[in-house]
Amino acid sequence: MNQNVIKTLGILFLMVGTAFSVPFYDQVHTSLDMSIWFTPSYYTQFIPLFIGITCIIAGLLVLYGYRHCNIYLVLFGHAAVEDVLFNWLGWSNTNLTVSSIVFFLPLGVLALVLGYLNSLGKKPVSLLEAFAGLLFTTIWILSPNLF
């Protein structure tokens, strides 16, 4: 893949992640009351911020040509797509706004394609890394509804 296209993709991930992470960070309300730390509503507010930050990290790693950027692309892609998909299936409630879904869903699918097909020519994602990433993000997204 052309280096200019790779840099453009990195900048795109970085800009979209940054644009949404700032308002997601403002929506997070922390408390010193430990009794609410493990409640589903407290935990769920961090999911959009997690998705935005993983988008920023993936963008930075793609931009700077990090050898292991594919696993971060896959991690972001799974988190973004699973949050929307599980919400549509009724398995979880998303805190993503409609505008963030419009950006994160196609960008998440693109990240999955780039990461799994090794389109950037970096270290390919192993089967163990793919399974671990899928398992981690699925637990992260669904756990507020499981407990």
- pLDDT, tens digit (0-9, with 9 covering 90-100), for 27-50: 888 888 887 877 777 788 888 999
Both structure tokens of 38? 């493990």
Residues of the chain with pLDDT under 70: 147
User: Could you tell me how many residues make up the chain?
Assistant: 147
Please report the pLDDT score of residue 147 as a whole number.
Answer: 64
CB of 6 within 8 A of CB of 62?
yes
Domain boundaries, the chain: 3-146
Supply the pLDDT for residue 32.
84
Return the percentage of the chain with pLDDT > 70, whole number.
99
Distance CA(138)–CA(125), nearest Å, equals 18
Reduced to 3 states (helix: H, G, I; strand: E, B; else coil), residue 5 is helix
Percent helix, percent strand, percent coil in the chain, to nearest 5: 75, 0, 25
Q: Which secondary-structure segment (H or E) carries 29?
A: none
